[in-house]
Each structure stands twice: as structure tokens, then as C-alpha cells.
Amino acid sequence: MSPAVQYRQLPGEGLDAFIAGFRKAAGRDPFGTVFIVPTSNLAREVARRLGEQGAPFVSGAVTTLPGFARKVFDDHAASETPIPAAGTRFILARLLAAGDYPLLSGAGAVDELATLFSVLTMRKVDYPAALGEMQSAKSAEIARLLNAYLRFLDDRRLVDESTLLSRAVRLLAGSREIRTVFVYGLFRPMPLEQDLLLVLRESADEFHYSIPYAANPAVFADDGGWLHPDVVVAGDGHSALSGLFSRGPPRDCGGFIRVAERRDRVDEVRAIGQEVRDLITAGVRPGDIAVAFPDLDGAVPCIDEVFPDFAIPYTVSAGRPLSASPLVQALLLVLTVPAHGYRRSDVIGLATSPYLPGGRGCELDLLSREARIVAGPAAWEERLAALAAGLDEERARPDTPEAAVRRIAAKIASIEAARAGTRRLFADLATLEGTKTIPEHLAVYRSLLDAWQAPVMPGEGERDLLEGEAQDLAGFMGTLATLEELARLLPGEKVPLAEFASLLGLLVAGTRGGRRRNPRAVQVLGVREVQHLAVPYLFIGDLVEGAMPRLTTRLPFTTDAETRRLATRSKDDVLREERYHFTAALLAARFRVYLSFPAAEGATPLVRSGFLDAVRETFFPEAWGSDDFPDSTLAAARRAGALLARGEVPVEMPPGIAAGEAIRRLNVENYHRKGGYDSPYDGLLGGDPASIATLAERFGEGAVFSPTALETYADCPFRFYLERALGLASLPPADPDLTAQERGSLVHRVAYRFYSGWRRDGNDPVSEASYPEALRRILDAGREEADRFTFESPAWVADREHLLGSPAAGPGLLERFLRHETAMAASGLVPQAFEVSFGLPVSPGEVDPISNPDPVAVPLGDEILRLRGRVDRVDVLPDGRFAITDYKTGTSHPALKDILAGRALQLPLYIRAVETLTGMQGVAGTYYTLRRGEVRNRPVFWDKAMKDCFVCFPGSRQSGVEDVRALIENALGWVEEYLAGIRSGRFPPRSDAGPCPRYCDFATICRFDDLRLFNTEVTTDGTD
Ligand code: SF4
């Protein structure tokens, strides 16, 4: 053993001398010389510098400690096989799948257990004995799993990445094959790593060990005493930076460090982008600039967004996680669909993926929502068939208009195409199902992708994007090969598809895609990778608490107290390590370092890193950055827009946008969004003759209107325009339970069936005497109607019980309805007609016999209003006068003031329609609330002269009116105004500042803005 020389040097200091020493030794003894560094990034950098110097060296001689252990193992161990990190996860997943470890299951368990086992091994923890009296059922189970895992490895003579180090220790002990060792920059090696270094120190002829060190215990606690060096050489270097965190005297850094606070993460990366651009413009080579983040994976999407906007060439040190690739997600979805029972969202994801052959995915999405499909291949078939059958019935009705027949036929055809498509798709996917060996699963999966010629790779597009996708695909195929390799560990063992899919997902989650390295581009890397590099210009972003320092000490599956007992790392150790990485990164900068932090993320304020405070207190750094981004294409477009908006002409327009078009768009957003509604963008189409002509065709004198359509215009003309003129509709909800609309129809149908049968059989209004029979009949009808639904969810069970009642829930809605009917019989009004429809197809047995397919013609000024609709119920007095009733199952309905203000038209228009149909006279309109918390028939208006009749109705005192005829005429007056508005193209958004109705689906595309209204007084016709 020759003397071990330890060099106590600042991070980065003396690296050149170490490289030179290695170069010399490797020239003399290429196979017996090794250079060990802490990161792969530094290993690559050292190799690059040696390459530049034209110094030959043996591959793998410049490496990390795990890399060196692997090389030793590969050179010696003939009877054991190393497994990658994915192998550990694979084995743990299989052991957990056996179900013998109930306390350790759950999402993320495999990853967390793999981390725990690695820490226990690397730190040589005697688990669970080290817990002492803190041992528990959980620690016993963890130990049992650890033993099973180690047994699994031993039985098959396998070695995982952590045990590889102990194997290397054993293989090197007493060996003389490594004769010259250079170790540079390792910060506080773990006990197992120290063992390997000590073995090298014992056996080598020359042992040079550079430890990052400065006389600052707040950062550098490891003086390398554990190595028992023979000679200690103190470094020559001195840097004020190494005294950071030591409460030394403040000093001026002369502009070397700069600090910026930015609004949010995007603004921060944009500021970095501009500063980088300025440096490049000033002559700095992009390769001399590095941008580091504490969480590189989290920052890369933002970099990918911003740096191209500044035309910055950049390269990221690590490939992105494969699981983040849309292409890989699509390929995994192929397995997820059958593995998770053909859930609607999965099938639609697969059918709409551009990477998989499919087509018509959007149509399938729509149809599957309408068919109320949740999951299950049988449900897809049955529910699509039922949807088609329902439509077929509608088509076959003699009263269905010809245009509707054609529309329905087309829809049935598309349902049939969707059924055929899903049948084919599911038949293909069914080949993946079942319990198979992993190679069998892989073979079927690959063969299905081959048959589909999937993934479909785009032929053209952005070069970087295409390259990235090709790398993702190669990475995914590599993962399949790794899984195949790992499957050899379990020959002949069969696993269900769900487990196969989960194993593959696990491997994908732990794999990164490839990346193209470009030393001439700006380097984007993790802040912990910067140590020991020499970076002329360094940016460190996202310096917020939680990111840097990240003070997580707790081991997975252990409490804080257990972690402390295991003595792995204390909070002080973690803080020191974080301080080290920060200090080492600062020391890597040669000319300037730019630090920054975002003040908020969305609406959440972020806490600036305490490290920045330490820098500010010690070095008085300058500020950097501005809000001007002259090199951003996006900012250039904004600037040009701002100039155009002020009426000035920009010197240059951003590429791809003509000034005229930009001005037009600016006007739409700036000019026409202010003040009263006055432009076509606000739905005022009066200035466009073509629109007026089209509106005249659609809504002119021959048009048929429903009260609901007119009420929509009354509430919001813009919504009427979107819904009725443009025919826009949002996607139906993918609701597996009864919708509000279906609940309403169910109640309507039961009420109709009961009363039409009751009256047809000659019964009088329900009385105490006839109540039992009436109850039996309405419950029978209720059960039959409820049985038409095939829901099985708990919500439907509750809905059904709420309708029909039960011993546990008490009387149902139908029973309470009949009770109320019995109480209201005193009014003298007799339920006479039910579901009276006009202007709609008449289906016998579903509407009242007096219904008429022709619209009702109601005189309206100089024209005739053609009205369609369906009146829920007409109650008649012995003298022929009548009241109409509308059933409401929702929570609110209009009041008399809404009718007078023209916002509610249904009751007056329906009275006029029934009067026109029957020649009788209407005297009242009522809303019958039928819902869980309330069953009550409340007159909204009634003829004051008929007090005796209506006084028995609850809450009716305030709603008597002197003249029902005048009320109806008033409503018709409003209709005249609305028709004029529709025909003249007046469709402004709502004019009141009140909230828009929650059910409006157009809020995201609407130009309604209550602030705009606040500043402008707008009349109801939309003008100010
Ligand atoms: S969001 Fe309001 S203003 Fe806009 S369409 Fe809907 S109801 Fe009308």
C-alpha cells in the first residue's frame, strides 16, 4: 500500500491537475487506472476534455462510483447477473402482487419500497433491528418483503444496483488490478461507497482523493477522516463564495452575482431567455452558458415553450420521462382499455389518438355519451344498439316529419358504423386479454401493434418534434425489450393482463427518453449536476423554498421518528447537502451567475429560498432582468399589436401576420369589447343584409316558435343566437345516472299515465274515498316507468326510492303528489286534459286526444304567431273556464313579476294556445313543484274574481290579477318585440349585471363582461 493523498479543495478546484494526473497515469497503465467522479455529467465533461487533448483512455475508466462497481462486476462475476433498477421494481411488483404484504400495497408502493431498500443497503442499516423498540407490524412486513426480495435475487444469482457495490468490494478485496486511482469531488459518500473507496485505497499503488472542502462547517462537514489519508494537501484556492452560510462579514461581489424576482415561472424563464439572448448577441458562445433548476423535469416544459421563442439553441442534460410522452401514453392505452374493462374515457382516448388508427373518435365520443356508456364491452354493444333502436322507433312513427326521418336515418347509420367499429376494435383488443406469460403478452401486444401499423408516425412536421417522437418510440421499444429480458426471471409464470399492463407502466415510469447532446448549445441541467463544472455564465432559476433547499429527510414507509432512529440522514445533514450543492453550483460559475425566483404560481404566493437571503446578506448582489423582451417573437407581436392599437405603424410586423388582419383582430378585442353592445361580434347583425335574409328565412312569418325559444331570447339574445340560429350545443354529459331532464320526463310520464287512465275510466278527482285505488294505480305506473331505466348505480336506487317511497324512506314523491291532489280537490278544478301538444308530432297514447300536429295560430299584431309546445295539464271548472299547469322538477321557476316583465312567457302563451284550440277561457296558470323537498301546486296568476276557487292553493294570496286577458296581451306584446329583434339580427349578450344562468354552456365563448356593463348603461335592446 502506498500513501493515500487527500486533497482538500474547493468544488471545481484542482480538477485540471487531476485530469492531467490521470492522463499521465493512464498513458502508462491504461487498464490499471481509474478516475471516479460524482456525476455522469462530470464524467462526460472529463472525457470530453481528455478527448480534446487527444489523450487516449480505456472506455469506462472515467466513471462514477456505481459505474466503476458495475465495471468491476462485469469483469469478474461469471456466475451472477446484474439487473437494472427496473428489475428491482419488477421483482417487487411481482412479490407484492402475491398479496402477502397487505400493509405495503397502494399507489407508488413499488417505487417507494425500491428507494427504501436501496437506502437501507447503501447505508448498511440493520433493518428492522435498528428500530429497536419502535419495531411494528409494518416494519416486520417490510423486513419480510426485503428478505423475500433478497432471497429471490440469491436463488437466481442476481445482483441489483445497490448490492453491486458490495459485490465490487468483495471482488476487489486483495486484488492488485487497479493500481492508480483518482477520485474527485464526491460529497459525503455513503457507508457502502466508503467501503469501496477504502478497498481501492488499500490495494492501489497510487490513490489520489480530492474532497470538496472549505473551512465552513455549515456546508463542509466531511473532512475525509474516514479515509485515514497518509498525506493531506490543502487546496490553494480561495473563494468568498465558500464562506456562504457562515455568518461572515458581508462583502461586495462586484456584480458577479445578480438576483431577480420575477412574477411567475413563465415570466422567470422568459427573463432568463432574454438575458441569454443578450449574452449571445454580445458574443458569448451558447455552449458557455448553463441554465440550472432545482427540479429539472418540472422546468423543462417551460423551457421548451420559451427558449424557441427567443431562438435559443439549447440542450437538456436528461431525456424527459417516457411516461410524459403522448405517443407512449397512446401505446399504453392499447393495454389499458381491455385491462380496465373498456371504460368509456379509455376507449375514446384510444379512438381519438392520432398515433393509433381509428378515425371517427369524436363521433364515437358523442354517441357513447348519448348512449350513457360507462364501461364493459357488452354495454358498448347493448347501449349503442338501444340508442339505434330508440331512434328507429321514432323514425317509424307515422307522424315523424320527412326531414326528421332523414336526419334520424343518418344518425342510425353512424351508430351502426360506430357499433361495427367498436366490435372490430374490441375483437382486436380481446386478443390481449387473459392470463399469459409475459413473453406471450408481449408477443400478442406487438403483433396487434404490427397489425394496426401502430404507432402512426407523422410524415412531416417540426424537425425537433419528429426527432423527439422517434426517440420516445425507440425508448418504448427498449422498455418492451427490458421487460422481455426481466420476464426470464419468472419462466412460465402467468400474469393477468392488468398486471402485465401495470408492470409495463412501472418500467415506462422509470425510463427516460433519449436526447441529443450538443456542446455548442446552451446547457439546461439540474442544479445538483453543476458541481465541479466550469461554466462561464450560469443561471439558477426557481429558487423557492421546497425546491432549494428541499428538506425531505423522511424515508418512504417510515415515520419521522423511525427515520431518526435509523440514523440515515438528519435534517441538518440534508440542509448541509443542499447548501453544498448550491455553493458548488455558484463556484462553478466563472464570470457571472444569475439567480432568480418566481413570486407566485398562479394565485399562490411562493416563498423565496432562504439561500437567496443568505446571498443577499453576504454579497449585496445586483438586480438583473427587465420587463422588455426585445428578442421574443411573442413580445414582438405584442409590441406590434400595441403600436397598431395606438394607430401607429410598427417598423416590422412579426412573420406570418399582415398588418390589416392584425388591426382587424385588435379592433374586435379592443374597440368592440368596450362600451355598449354595438358590433357583429356582440351579435348585432343588422348591418349585414345576407344575415338578415337568412334570419328572415329561418324566423320569418312562416316560422314556428316555442315559448322556451322565445324565453331564451328574452333572457339572453346572444344565447338564442348561438343555440337556435347557429345550432351550437355542448357535448352531452357522460352521466351514468338519471339526468335532471330525465328525472323531469319520468315524473311527467307517470303523471300523464295515471291521470289519463284515471279520467278515461270515468273517475272523479282523487278524494279520500278513492285515494287507496289511485295510489295503487300511480305506484304501478311509477314502477313500470322506472323499470324502463337500466341504471344500477346507488344514485339511481336512491332516485327510485325517492319516487316510489319505501318503508325506510317513507312516502315517495308520487304518494305525496296524490295527497296534495286530494287536498286541492276543494278548488272545484277538475283535471281534464294531459300532455296537450300542438305543432309537434302527435304520438297516440303519449299525448292528449285534443292534441294537434299543426302549430296553433295566435293573432299577433299584423301577423300570426305560429306556436308549438306541450301543456302538461289543463284543469277545468264546471263552467268551462280552465287553468293550465306546468310540472316543475327543478329548484326554481318564474314568478308573476317575470311574466309581467316578459321574461316568462310559457303560461300566458299556453293559455292562449289552449283557448285557441278549445274555445274555452283560461283563468289561471300554475307551477306544480314536484321534487324531493317540495310537492306543491302554486298558482302564478289567477283571476282575482275567482277567489273562492283559488284560495285553497298554498301561497296564492299575492298572485291574483285583475285581468288575465290583459296579462296575456302583455306577454304577446313582448313576443312581438322579440320577433322584431330576432328578425332584425339583434342578438346582444345579457344586459343585466346579474350572474348568467349556471346552465348556460356558452360562457367560455361569450363576450359578456359585467365590468363592461358596469361602465356602460345598456338598454335591453343592447344599445347604450
Ligand atoms: S354566458 Fe350569459 S351572456 Fe353569455 S350566452 Fe350565456 S347567458 Fe348569455
Q: What is the pLDDT of residues 183-200, one digit of tens each?
A: 999 999 999 999 999 999
**Model pLDDT, residue 564:** 83
Whether the Cβ atoms of residue 322 and residue 512 lie closer than 8 Å to each other = yes
**Ligand 1 lined by 718 (C-beta under 6 Å):** yes
Is the C-beta atom of 171 inside 6 A of ligand 1? no
Q: What angle is formed at CA 532 by the lines to CA 531 and CA 537, rounded to 5 degrees?
A: 80
Centre of ligand 1 from the C-alpha of residue 889, in Å: 23
Strand ranges of the sheet holding 33-36, from the earlier edge strand across to the other edge:
62-63, 33-36, 180-184, 206-212, 4-9, 231-234
Q: How many angstroms does the Cα of residue 683 sit away from the middle of ligand 1?
A: 12
Residues near 764 by beta carbon (within 8 Å), at least 6 away in sequence: 770, 830
Cell numbers 400478442 correspond to what residue? 444
Reading the block at residue 711, the C-alpha cell is 324565453
**DSSP β-ladder status, 33-36 and 62-63:** parallel
Question: Which of 718, 730, 991 for mutating ligand 1's site (highest number of atoms within 8 Å of CB)?
Answer: 718
Distance 1017 CA to ligand 1 centre (A): 18
Nearest CA to ligand 1 atom 4: 1006
Q: Helix or strand or coil: residue 412?
A: helix
Per-residue confidence (pLDDT) for residue 735, from 0 to 100: 78
- Cα 991 to averaged position of ligand 1 atoms, centre (Å): 10
Ligand 1 pocket, residue 1008 CB under 6 Å: yes
3-class DSSP state of 35? strand
CA of 870 to the centre of ligand 1 (A): 26
**pTM across the whole model:** 0.80
If you measure from the C-alpha of residue 897 to the centroid of ligand 1, how many angstroms do you get, rounded to a whole number? 22
Instruction: Supply the pLDDT for residue 458.
Output: 80
Which residues, given as ranges, of the chain have pLDDT below 70?
1-2, 107, 237, 553, 993-994, 1014-1024
From ligand 1's centre to the CA of 1020, what distance in Å?
Answer: 14
* 356 φ/ψ sector (left φ>0, alpha ψ -120 to 50, else beta): beta
What pLDDT is recorded for position 567? 78
Distance (Å) from CA 750 to ligand 1 centroid = 34
CA 667 – ligand 1 centroid, Å: 22
**Any atom of ligand 1 within 6 Å of the Cβ of 996:** yes
Q: How far is the CA of 990 from the centre of ligand 1 (A)?
A: 6
> Is 881 a pocket residue for ligand 1 (Cβ < 6 Å)?
no
Q: The C-alpha cell of 824 is what?
A: 286541492
Binding site membership of 990 for ligand 1 (Cβ less than 6 Å): yes
Whole-number Cα distances in Å, 133 to 137, 556, 558:
12, 19, 14
How far is the C-alpha of 207 from the C-alpha of 201, rounded, in Å? 6
- The predicted structure's pLDDT at residue 554: 73
Does the beta carbon of 719 sit less than 6 angstroms from any atom of ligand 1? yes
Which ligand 1 atom is the nearest neighbour of the CA of 990?
3
* Residue whose CA is at the smallest distance from ligand 1 atom 2: 996
CA of 899 to the centre of ligand 1 (A): 21
Residue nearest to atom 1 of ligand 1 (CA): 1003
Q: Mutation test of ligand 1: which of 1002, 1009, 1012 has the most ligand atoms closer than 8 Å to its C-beta?
A: 1002
- 15 CB contacts (<8 Å, ≥6 apart)? 46, 184, 185, 210, 532, 534
Spatial separation of the C-alpha atoms in residues 374 and 383, rounded to whole Å:
10
Cβ of 989 below 6 Å from ligand 1: yes
Dump pLDDT digits (tens) for 896-945. Answer: 999 999 999 999 999 999 999 999 999 999 999 999 878 999 999 999 99
Nearest atom of ligand 1 to the alpha carbon of 996: 2
Q: Distance of alpha carbon 411 from its chain centroid, rounded?
A: 32
The predicted structure's pLDDT at residue 553: 67
